[in-house]
A and B are shown apart, each in its own frame.
Chain A
Amino acid sequence: MGAGHGGPLGAGYVAGSGPVHRLEPHVKLVAVLGFAVVVVATPVHAGWAWAAYAGYLALVLGAAAVAGVGPRRLVRGLAVEVPFVLFALLLPVVARGPRVDVGGVSLSVSGLTAAGGLLAKATLSVLAATVLAATTEPRALLRGLERLRLPALLVQILGFTIRYADVVAGELQRMRVARESRGFRGRHLGALRVLGPAAGSLFIRSYERGERVHLAMLSRGYTGRVPAGPAADVPVGDWLAALALPLGAGAVLASGLLLG
Protein backbone atom coordinates (compact mmCIF):
# COMPACT_ATOMS: atom_id res chain seq x y z
CA MET A 1 0.00 0.00 0.00
CA GLY A 2 1.02 3.60 -0.31
CA ALA A 3 4.24 4.74 -1.84
CA GLY A 4 5.32 3.04 -4.98
CA HIS A 5 2.39 0.66 -4.87
CA GLY A 6 1.17 1.81 -8.24
CA GLY A 7 -2.53 1.66 -7.36
CA PRO A 8 -4.80 4.59 -8.14
CA LEU A 9 -4.85 5.76 -4.52
CA GLY A 10 -1.09 6.01 -4.14
CA ALA A 11 -0.79 7.75 -7.51
CA GLY A 12 -0.96 11.21 -5.95
CA TYR A 13 1.84 10.55 -3.49
CA VAL A 14 5.40 11.55 -4.35
CA ALA A 15 7.84 9.68 -2.14
CA GLY A 16 10.30 11.88 -0.31
CA SER A 17 11.74 12.77 3.08
CA GLY A 18 11.68 16.55 3.01
CA PRO A 19 10.51 18.77 5.85
CA VAL A 20 6.90 18.77 4.62
CA HIS A 21 6.85 14.98 4.27
CA ARG A 22 7.91 14.67 7.91
CA LEU A 23 5.15 16.88 9.35
CA GLU A 24 2.31 15.11 11.15
CA PRO A 25 -0.64 14.65 8.78
CA HIS A 26 -3.24 16.40 10.92
CA VAL A 27 -0.99 19.45 11.16
CA LYS A 28 -0.79 19.59 7.36
CA LEU A 29 -4.56 19.12 7.02
CA VAL A 30 -5.21 22.03 9.36
CA ALA A 31 -2.70 24.18 7.46
CA VAL A 32 -4.19 23.47 4.03
CA LEU A 33 -7.74 23.93 5.31
CA GLY A 34 -6.72 27.25 6.91
CA PHE A 35 -5.12 28.38 3.66
CA ALA A 36 -8.27 27.49 1.72
CA VAL A 37 -10.44 29.40 4.21
CA VAL A 38 -8.30 32.53 3.79
CA VAL A 39 -8.39 32.23 0.00
CA VAL A 40 -12.17 31.77 0.02
CA ALA A 41 -12.62 34.73 2.37
CA THR A 42 -10.87 37.13 -0.04
CA PRO A 43 -13.47 39.50 -1.53
CA VAL A 44 -13.60 38.94 -5.32
CA HIS A 45 -14.61 42.44 -6.34
CA ALA A 46 -11.99 44.31 -4.28
CA GLY A 47 -9.42 46.20 -6.34
CA TRP A 48 -6.51 44.55 -4.55
CA ALA A 49 -7.87 41.03 -5.00
CA TRP A 50 -5.40 40.20 -7.76
CA ALA A 51 -2.44 41.38 -5.69
CA ALA A 52 -3.66 39.11 -2.91
CA TYR A 53 -3.99 36.16 -5.31
CA ALA A 54 -0.41 36.79 -6.44
CA GLY A 55 0.71 36.78 -2.79
CA TYR A 56 -1.13 33.49 -2.14
CA LEU A 57 0.37 32.01 -5.28
CA ALA A 58 3.87 32.93 -4.13
CA LEU A 59 3.16 31.33 -0.76
CA VAL A 60 1.76 28.08 -2.12
CA LEU A 61 4.52 27.76 -4.74
CA GLY A 62 7.03 28.39 -1.96
CA ALA A 63 5.44 25.59 0.06
CA ALA A 64 5.59 23.32 -2.99
CA ALA A 65 9.28 24.15 -3.47
CA VAL A 66 10.08 23.39 0.19
CA ALA A 67 8.09 20.16 -0.10
CA GLY A 68 9.93 19.15 -3.26
CA VAL A 69 6.75 18.88 -5.33
CA GLY A 70 7.68 19.58 -8.92
CA PRO A 71 5.79 21.76 -11.41
CA ARG A 72 4.66 18.73 -13.42
CA ARG A 73 2.96 17.18 -10.41
CA LEU A 74 1.25 20.52 -9.67
CA VAL A 75 -0.04 20.86 -13.23
CA ARG A 76 -1.29 17.28 -13.15
CA GLY A 77 -3.20 18.15 -9.97
CA LEU A 78 -4.94 21.03 -11.72
CA ALA A 79 -6.67 18.70 -14.19
CA VAL A 80 -9.54 18.18 -11.72
CA GLU A 81 -10.59 21.78 -12.24
CA VAL A 82 -11.63 21.41 -15.86
CA PRO A 83 -15.44 20.99 -15.46
CA PHE A 84 -15.64 24.11 -13.35
CA VAL A 85 -13.57 26.11 -15.76
CA LEU A 86 -16.42 25.49 -18.19
CA PHE A 87 -18.92 26.74 -15.63
CA ALA A 88 -16.79 29.82 -14.93
CA LEU A 89 -16.58 30.58 -18.66
CA LEU A 90 -20.38 30.75 -18.68
CA LEU A 91 -20.47 33.51 -16.05
CA PRO A 92 -19.23 36.52 -18.06
CA VAL A 93 -21.73 35.68 -20.79
CA VAL A 94 -24.81 35.52 -18.59
CA ALA A 95 -24.03 37.82 -15.65
CA ARG A 96 -25.85 41.16 -15.34
CA GLY A 97 -24.38 44.63 -15.00
CA PRO A 98 -22.29 46.87 -17.27
CA ARG A 99 -20.87 45.07 -20.28
CA VAL A 100 -17.68 45.34 -22.33
CA ASP A 101 -16.92 44.22 -25.83
CA VAL A 102 -14.19 41.59 -25.98
CA GLY A 103 -13.39 40.39 -29.48
CA GLY A 104 -16.90 41.11 -30.68
CA VAL A 105 -18.60 39.33 -27.77
CA SER A 106 -20.47 41.37 -25.20
CA LEU A 107 -19.34 40.28 -21.74
CA SER A 108 -20.41 41.40 -18.30
CA VAL A 109 -17.73 43.21 -16.30
CA SER A 110 -18.85 41.81 -12.95
CA GLY A 111 -19.14 38.35 -14.53
CA LEU A 112 -15.56 38.59 -15.78
CA THR A 113 -14.29 39.59 -12.35
CA ALA A 114 -16.27 36.85 -10.69
CA ALA A 115 -15.13 34.19 -13.16
CA GLY A 116 -11.51 35.28 -12.80
CA GLY A 117 -11.82 35.29 -9.03
CA LEU A 118 -13.41 31.85 -8.98
CA LEU A 119 -10.73 30.37 -11.19
CA ALA A 120 -7.95 32.01 -9.17
CA LYS A 121 -9.39 30.79 -5.86
CA ALA A 122 -10.06 27.28 -7.12
CA THR A 123 -6.57 27.04 -8.63
CA LEU A 124 -4.85 28.27 -5.45
CA SER A 125 -6.76 25.82 -3.25
CA VAL A 126 -6.16 22.93 -5.63
CA LEU A 127 -2.43 23.74 -5.61
CA ALA A 128 -2.33 23.69 -1.81
CA ALA A 129 -4.32 20.45 -1.64
CA THR A 130 -2.04 18.94 -4.30
CA VAL A 131 1.00 19.69 -2.12
CA LEU A 132 -0.82 17.94 0.76
CA ALA A 133 -1.69 14.88 -1.33
CA ALA A 134 1.80 14.69 -2.82
CA THR A 135 3.54 14.72 0.57
CA THR A 136 1.18 12.54 2.62
CA GLU A 137 0.46 8.86 2.21
CA PRO A 138 -3.21 7.79 2.18
CA ARG A 139 -2.83 5.91 5.46
CA ALA A 140 -1.20 8.93 7.09
CA LEU A 141 -4.08 11.13 5.94
CA LEU A 142 -6.47 8.67 7.56
CA ARG A 143 -4.54 8.99 10.82
CA GLY A 144 -4.67 12.77 10.47
CA LEU A 145 -8.44 12.78 9.99
CA GLU A 146 -8.76 10.50 13.02
CA ARG A 147 -6.81 12.96 15.15
CA LEU A 148 -9.05 15.75 13.90
CA ARG A 149 -11.98 13.84 15.52
CA LEU A 150 -13.72 12.47 12.46
CA PRO A 151 -16.37 10.04 13.87
CA ALA A 152 -14.79 6.66 14.61
CA LEU A 153 -17.16 4.67 12.39
CA LEU A 154 -16.48 6.99 9.47
CA VAL A 155 -12.73 6.60 10.06
CA GLN A 156 -13.15 2.80 9.96
CA ILE A 157 -15.16 2.93 6.73
CA LEU A 158 -12.60 5.27 5.22
CA GLY A 159 -9.84 2.93 6.38
CA PHE A 160 -11.41 -0.03 4.59
CA THR A 161 -11.95 2.07 1.48
CA ILE A 162 -8.33 3.19 1.41
CA ARG A 163 -7.07 -0.33 2.12
CA TYR A 164 -9.21 -2.00 -0.54
CA ALA A 165 -9.60 0.63 -3.26
CA ASP A 166 -6.42 -0.59 -4.91
CA VAL A 167 -7.59 -4.21 -4.64
CA VAL A 168 -10.98 -3.44 -6.20
CA ALA A 169 -9.42 -1.24 -8.88
CA GLY A 170 -6.92 -4.01 -9.61
CA GLU A 171 -9.81 -6.42 -10.13
CA LEU A 172 -11.38 -3.91 -12.50
CA GLN A 173 -8.11 -3.63 -14.39
CA ARG A 174 -7.83 -7.45 -14.75
CA MET A 175 -11.40 -7.57 -16.08
CA ARG A 176 -10.47 -4.91 -18.62
CA VAL A 177 -7.39 -6.83 -19.75
CA ALA A 178 -9.48 -9.98 -20.06
CA ARG A 179 -12.16 -8.17 -22.11
CA GLU A 180 -9.75 -6.47 -24.44
CA SER A 181 -7.63 -9.56 -25.01
CA ARG A 182 -10.84 -11.17 -26.29
CA GLY A 183 -11.29 -8.42 -28.82
CA PHE A 184 -13.70 -6.13 -26.93
CA ARG A 185 -13.74 -2.52 -28.04
CA GLY A 186 -16.24 -0.29 -26.24
CA ARG A 187 -17.19 2.15 -28.96
CA HIS A 188 -20.95 2.50 -28.77
CA LEU A 189 -23.93 2.02 -26.50
CA GLY A 190 -23.99 -1.71 -27.19
CA ALA A 191 -20.90 -2.00 -25.00
CA LEU A 192 -23.23 -1.61 -22.01
CA ARG A 193 -24.24 -5.25 -22.44
CA VAL A 194 -20.66 -6.08 -21.50
CA LEU A 195 -19.67 -3.21 -19.20
CA GLY A 196 -22.88 -3.31 -17.12
CA PRO A 197 -22.41 -6.92 -16.04
CA ALA A 198 -18.70 -6.23 -15.50
CA ALA A 199 -19.50 -3.42 -13.08
CA GLY A 200 -22.23 -5.59 -11.54
CA SER A 201 -19.86 -8.45 -10.84
CA LEU A 202 -17.34 -5.95 -9.50
CA PHE A 203 -19.98 -4.93 -6.95
CA ILE A 204 -20.76 -8.54 -6.05
CA ARG A 205 -17.08 -9.36 -5.63
CA SER A 206 -16.48 -6.25 -3.52
CA TYR A 207 -19.46 -6.95 -1.29
CA GLU A 208 -18.53 -10.60 -0.84
CA ARG A 209 -14.97 -9.57 -0.06
CA GLY A 210 -16.41 -7.26 2.60
CA GLU A 211 -18.28 -10.20 4.12
CA ARG A 212 -15.13 -12.33 4.14
CA VAL A 213 -13.08 -9.51 5.66
CA HIS A 214 -15.72 -9.07 8.35
CA LEU A 215 -15.69 -12.78 9.23
CA ALA A 216 -11.89 -12.78 9.29
CA MET A 217 -11.94 -9.81 11.62
CA LEU A 218 -14.53 -11.45 13.90
CA SER A 219 -12.33 -14.51 14.16
CA ARG A 220 -9.53 -12.23 15.33
CA GLY A 221 -11.63 -10.66 18.07
CA TYR A 222 -13.14 -7.63 16.31
CA THR A 223 -15.73 -5.94 18.55
CA GLY A 224 -16.63 -3.00 16.34
CA ARG A 225 -13.66 -0.89 17.37
CA VAL A 226 -10.21 -0.72 15.86
CA PRO A 227 -7.58 -0.01 18.51
CA ALA A 228 -5.23 2.87 17.75
CA GLY A 229 -1.85 3.48 19.26
CA PRO A 230 -1.07 6.56 21.37
CA ALA A 231 -0.91 9.74 19.31
CA ALA A 232 2.52 11.33 19.04
CA ASP A 233 3.02 14.83 20.44
CA VAL A 234 3.63 17.53 17.87
CA PRO A 235 6.47 19.97 18.67
CA VAL A 236 5.51 23.64 18.56
CA GLY A 237 8.07 24.19 15.82
CA ASP A 238 6.21 21.79 13.52
CA TRP A 239 2.94 23.62 14.07
CA LEU A 240 4.63 26.93 13.33
CA ALA A 241 6.28 25.58 10.17
CA ALA A 242 3.00 24.17 8.86
CA LEU A 243 0.91 27.16 9.84
CA ALA A 244 3.32 29.52 8.09
CA LEU A 245 1.26 28.92 4.93
CA PRO A 246 -2.20 29.93 6.28
CA LEU A 247 -0.76 32.62 8.56
CA GLY A 248 1.18 34.14 5.66
CA ALA A 249 -1.97 34.08 3.56
CA GLY A 250 -3.87 35.64 6.45
CA ALA A 251 -1.30 38.43 6.63
CA VAL A 252 -1.74 39.08 2.90
CA LEU A 253 -5.53 39.20 3.34
CA ALA A 254 -5.29 41.47 6.40
CA SER A 255 -2.96 43.92 4.68
CA GLY A 256 -5.28 43.97 1.69
CA LEU A 257 -8.30 44.70 3.90
CA LEU A 258 -6.44 47.41 5.83
CA LEU A 259 -4.59 49.11 3.00
CA GLY A 260 -6.93 48.43 0.09
Chain B
Amino acid sequence: MHVPDGFLDAPTSVATGVVAAGGVAVALRGARRELDERTAPLAGLTAAFVFAAQMINFPVAAGTSGHLIGGALTAVLVGPWTAVLCMTVVLLVQAVLFADGGLTALGTNTTLMGLVAVGVGYGTFRLLAAVLPRTRGGVLVAAGVGAFLSVPVAALAFVGLFAVGGVADVPVGTVAAAMVGVHLLIGLGEAVITVAVLGAVLTVRPDLVHGAAYLRRPADLARRPAPVETDSR
Protein backbone atom coordinates (compact mmCIF):
# COMPACT_ATOMS: atom_id res chain seq x y z
CA MET B 1 0.00 0.00 0.00
CA HIS B 2 3.00 2.27 -0.26
CA VAL B 3 3.32 4.72 -3.13
CA PRO B 4 6.41 3.74 -5.16
CA ASP B 5 8.72 6.05 -7.07
CA GLY B 6 7.38 7.58 -10.24
CA PHE B 7 3.67 7.57 -9.46
CA LEU B 8 3.58 11.29 -8.89
CA ASP B 9 5.57 13.91 -10.77
CA ALA B 10 8.55 15.67 -9.22
CA PRO B 11 6.80 18.91 -8.06
CA THR B 12 4.08 16.95 -6.23
CA SER B 13 6.66 14.67 -4.63
CA VAL B 14 8.70 17.66 -3.49
CA ALA B 15 5.59 19.45 -2.18
CA THR B 16 4.43 16.44 -0.16
CA GLY B 17 8.01 16.03 1.06
CA VAL B 18 7.96 19.59 2.40
CA VAL B 19 4.56 18.99 4.04
CA ALA B 20 5.83 15.75 5.60
CA ALA B 21 9.03 17.37 6.87
CA GLY B 22 7.02 20.19 8.45
CA GLY B 23 4.57 17.74 10.01
CA VAL B 24 7.34 15.57 11.41
CA ALA B 25 9.11 18.64 12.83
CA VAL B 26 5.90 19.67 14.63
CA ALA B 27 5.40 16.07 15.79
CA LEU B 28 8.93 15.96 17.22
CA ARG B 29 8.06 18.95 19.45
CA GLY B 30 4.62 17.55 20.28
CA ALA B 31 5.97 14.12 21.18
CA ARG B 32 8.29 15.71 23.72
CA ARG B 33 5.17 17.10 25.40
CA GLU B 34 3.49 13.69 25.36
CA LEU B 35 6.48 11.64 26.52
CA ASP B 36 9.13 14.20 27.67
CA GLU B 37 12.64 12.75 27.72
CA ARG B 38 11.32 9.20 27.43
CA THR B 39 10.40 9.98 23.79
CA ALA B 40 13.18 8.03 22.08
CA PRO B 41 12.85 4.64 23.80
CA LEU B 42 9.05 4.67 24.06
CA ALA B 43 8.35 5.93 20.55
CA GLY B 44 11.01 3.55 19.23
CA LEU B 45 9.47 0.53 20.93
CA THR B 46 5.96 1.60 19.86
CA ALA B 47 7.17 1.85 16.27
CA ALA B 48 8.67 -1.64 16.63
CA PHE B 49 5.24 -2.79 17.85
CA VAL B 50 3.50 -1.19 14.83
CA PHE B 51 6.03 -2.85 12.57
CA ALA B 52 5.39 -6.25 14.15
CA ALA B 53 1.62 -5.77 14.36
CA GLN B 54 1.52 -5.15 10.61
CA MET B 55 2.82 -8.70 10.19
CA ILE B 56 -0.19 -10.28 11.95
CA ASN B 57 -2.67 -11.59 9.43
CA PHE B 58 -6.22 -11.24 10.66
CA PRO B 59 -8.71 -13.47 8.86
CA VAL B 60 -11.48 -11.20 7.55
CA ALA B 61 -13.97 -13.21 5.50
CA ALA B 62 -14.14 -15.97 2.93
CA GLY B 63 -10.48 -16.87 3.08
CA THR B 64 -9.20 -13.31 2.77
CA SER B 65 -7.12 -11.76 5.47
CA GLY B 66 -5.98 -8.26 6.22
CA HIS B 67 -3.43 -6.59 8.38
CA LEU B 68 -3.43 -3.53 10.53
CA ILE B 69 -2.11 -0.21 9.21
CA GLY B 70 -2.24 1.17 12.69
CA GLY B 71 -2.36 4.96 12.35
CA ALA B 72 -5.54 5.47 14.35
CA LEU B 73 -4.79 2.70 16.85
CA THR B 74 -1.34 4.11 17.61
CA ALA B 75 -2.74 7.64 17.97
CA VAL B 76 -5.31 6.50 20.53
CA LEU B 77 -2.72 4.37 22.38
CA VAL B 78 0.21 6.79 22.64
CA GLY B 79 -1.09 10.16 21.43
CA PRO B 80 -1.19 11.72 17.98
CA TRP B 81 2.28 13.29 17.85
CA THR B 82 4.07 10.15 18.92
CA ALA B 83 1.90 8.21 16.48
CA VAL B 84 3.02 10.44 13.59
CA LEU B 85 6.63 9.74 14.54
CA CYS B 86 6.01 6.00 14.83
CA MET B 87 4.34 5.81 11.43
CA THR B 88 7.14 7.91 9.90
CA VAL B 89 9.78 5.62 11.34
CA VAL B 90 7.95 2.50 10.17
CA LEU B 91 7.65 3.94 6.65
CA LEU B 92 11.33 4.89 6.69
CA VAL B 93 12.34 1.38 7.75
CA GLN B 94 10.14 -0.14 5.06
CA ALA B 95 11.52 2.18 2.39
CA VAL B 96 15.23 1.76 3.11
CA LEU B 97 15.28 -1.86 4.33
CA PHE B 98 12.60 -3.43 2.15
CA ALA B 99 12.34 -1.07 -0.84
CA ASP B 100 8.64 -0.86 0.10
CA GLY B 101 7.60 2.65 -0.89
CA GLY B 102 9.92 4.74 -3.04
CA LEU B 103 12.65 6.95 -1.58
CA THR B 104 11.41 9.93 -3.59
CA ALA B 105 7.85 9.07 -2.50
CA LEU B 106 8.78 8.96 1.19
CA GLY B 107 7.30 12.42 1.70
CA THR B 108 4.08 11.36 -0.03
CA ASN B 109 3.80 8.19 2.02
CA THR B 110 4.53 10.02 5.26
CA THR B 111 1.94 12.66 4.41
CA LEU B 112 -0.72 10.07 3.56
CA MET B 113 -0.17 7.38 6.19
CA GLY B 114 1.49 9.50 8.85
CA LEU B 115 -0.21 12.88 8.77
CA VAL B 116 -3.57 12.25 7.03
CA ALA B 117 -4.38 8.81 8.47
CA VAL B 118 -3.30 9.70 12.00
CA GLY B 119 -4.89 13.16 11.81
CA VAL B 120 -8.24 11.90 10.53
CA GLY B 121 -8.23 8.88 12.83
CA TYR B 122 -7.38 10.83 15.95
CA GLY B 123 -9.50 13.87 15.05
CA THR B 124 -12.58 11.69 14.53
CA PHE B 125 -11.80 9.85 17.74
CA ARG B 126 -11.63 13.04 19.79
CA LEU B 127 -14.79 14.49 18.23
CA LEU B 128 -16.81 11.35 18.87
CA ALA B 129 -15.31 10.76 22.29
CA ALA B 130 -16.56 14.22 23.28
CA VAL B 131 -20.18 13.37 22.39
CA LEU B 132 -20.37 9.68 23.21
CA PRO B 133 -20.89 8.48 26.76
CA ARG B 134 -17.69 8.50 28.77
CA THR B 135 -17.42 4.75 29.01
CA ARG B 136 -15.21 1.98 27.68
CA GLY B 137 -17.79 1.35 24.94
CA GLY B 138 -17.76 5.01 23.95
CA VAL B 139 -13.97 4.98 23.59
CA LEU B 140 -14.09 1.82 21.47
CA VAL B 141 -16.80 3.15 19.14
CA ALA B 142 -14.98 6.45 18.70
CA ALA B 143 -11.69 4.69 17.95
CA GLY B 144 -13.38 2.25 15.59
CA VAL B 145 -15.03 5.00 13.56
CA GLY B 146 -11.76 6.95 13.53
CA ALA B 147 -9.85 3.92 12.24
CA PHE B 148 -12.55 3.21 9.66
CA LEU B 149 -12.51 6.76 8.26
CA SER B 150 -8.72 7.10 8.31
CA VAL B 151 -8.25 4.54 5.52
CA PRO B 152 -10.64 5.82 2.79
CA VAL B 153 -9.71 9.45 3.54
CA ALA B 154 -6.02 8.63 3.07
CA ALA B 155 -6.93 6.85 -0.18
CA LEU B 156 -8.92 9.89 -1.26
CA ALA B 157 -5.95 12.12 -0.46
CA PHE B 158 -3.84 9.89 -2.69
CA VAL B 159 -6.36 10.25 -5.53
CA GLY B 160 -6.24 14.01 -5.03
CA LEU B 161 -2.45 13.97 -5.32
CA PHE B 162 -2.69 11.73 -8.37
CA ALA B 163 -5.12 14.16 -9.99
CA VAL B 164 -2.68 17.03 -9.39
CA GLY B 165 0.63 15.31 -10.02
CA GLY B 166 -0.22 12.04 -11.70
CA VAL B 167 1.17 11.13 -15.06
CA ALA B 168 -2.05 9.87 -16.66
CA ASP B 169 -5.10 11.79 -17.79
CA VAL B 170 -7.78 9.96 -15.85
CA PRO B 171 -11.30 10.95 -14.87
CA VAL B 172 -10.75 11.73 -11.21
CA GLY B 173 -14.28 10.70 -10.26
CA THR B 174 -13.92 7.14 -11.54
CA VAL B 175 -10.55 6.57 -9.91
CA ALA B 176 -11.77 8.13 -6.66
CA ALA B 177 -14.84 5.90 -6.65
CA ALA B 178 -12.78 2.75 -7.25
CA MET B 179 -10.14 3.63 -4.66
CA VAL B 180 -12.64 4.70 -2.01
CA GLY B 181 -14.76 1.60 -2.66
CA VAL B 182 -11.83 -0.74 -2.10
CA HIS B 183 -10.58 1.23 0.87
CA LEU B 184 -13.96 1.32 2.57
CA LEU B 185 -13.64 -2.45 2.86
CA ILE B 186 -10.03 -2.18 4.07
CA GLY B 187 -11.17 0.51 6.52
CA LEU B 188 -13.83 -1.84 7.86
CA GLY B 189 -11.13 -4.41 8.57
CA GLU B 190 -8.94 -1.72 10.12
CA ALA B 191 -11.81 -0.67 12.41
CA VAL B 192 -12.54 -4.22 13.53
CA ILE B 193 -8.90 -4.95 14.30
CA THR B 194 -8.40 -1.58 16.02
CA VAL B 195 -11.38 -2.17 18.31
CA ALA B 196 -10.24 -5.70 19.14
CA VAL B 197 -6.70 -4.61 20.04
CA LEU B 198 -7.76 -1.46 21.87
CA GLY B 199 -10.40 -3.35 23.85
CA ALA B 200 -7.76 -5.82 25.00
CA VAL B 201 -5.39 -3.06 26.12
CA LEU B 202 -8.24 -1.21 27.88
CA THR B 203 -9.09 -4.36 29.81
CA VAL B 204 -5.56 -5.08 31.01
CA ARG B 205 -3.83 -1.71 31.24
CA PRO B 206 -6.31 1.15 30.78
CA ASP B 207 -3.69 3.53 32.18
CA LEU B 208 -1.53 3.02 29.06
CA VAL B 209 -4.24 4.24 26.66
CA HIS B 210 -3.51 7.90 25.99
CA GLY B 211 -6.89 8.56 24.38
CA ALA B 212 -8.82 7.12 27.31
CA ALA B 213 -7.13 9.25 29.96
CA TYR B 214 -10.46 10.94 30.63
CA LEU B 215 -11.93 7.62 31.79
CA ARG B 216 -9.45 7.51 34.63
CA ARG B 217 -10.67 8.54 38.01
CA PRO B 218 -8.55 9.02 41.06
CA ALA B 219 -8.73 5.84 43.07
CA ASP B 220 -11.28 6.05 45.84
CA LEU B 221 -9.43 6.03 49.10
CA ALA B 222 -11.15 3.75 51.50
CA ARG B 223 -11.46 5.25 54.90
CA ARG B 224 -9.86 3.20 57.53
CA PRO B 225 -11.93 3.03 60.65
CA ALA B 226 -10.31 5.05 63.37
CA PRO B 227 -8.39 2.88 65.75
CA VAL B 228 -10.50 2.08 68.71
CA GLU B 229 -9.18 3.67 71.81
CA THR B 230 -8.68 0.95 74.30
CA ASP B 231 -7.77 1.88 77.74
CA SER B 232 -5.50 -0.84 78.85
CA ARG B 233 -3.94 1.00 81.66
The interface of chain A, by Cβ under 8 A from chain B, is: 8-9, 12, 29, 32-33, 36-37, 39-41, 44, 77, 80-81, 83-84, 87, 90-91, 94-97, 110-111, 114-115, 117-118, 120-122, 124-126, 129-130, 132-133, 138, 141, 145, 151, 153-154, 156-165, 167-169, 171-172, 186-189, 191-193, 195-204, 206-207, 209-211, 213-214, 217, 224, 226
Contact = CB atoms under 8 A, between A and B. Distances in A.
Given A41-B10, A97-B169, A169-B52, A192 B192 contact: yes
Interface core residue of A120, A158, A167, A217 (most chain B CB under 10 Å):
A158
Contacts of B208: 203-204, 207
Interface of B: 1-7, 9-10, 13, 24-25, 28, 31-32, 37-49, 51-53, 55-61, 65, 68, 77-78, 85-86, 88-90, 92-93, 95-104, 166-171, 174-175, 178-179, 192-193, 195-201, 203-205, 208
B52 A188 contact: no
Query: Mostly helix, strand, loop or mixed at chain A's interface?
Result: helix
A214 B95 CA distance: 27
Contacts of A201: 200, 204
A169 B6 contact: no
Contacts of B198: 200
Nearest to B45: A210
A175 B194 CA distance: 19
A184 B213 CA distance: 34
Contacts of B46: 203, 206-207, 210
Interface of B is mostly: helix
Contact of B42 (A95, A202, A210): A210
B42 A154 contact: no
Contact of B7 (A122, A153, A157): A122
A44 B167 contact: yes
Given A40-B5, A95-B170, A202-B52, A77 B99 contact: yes
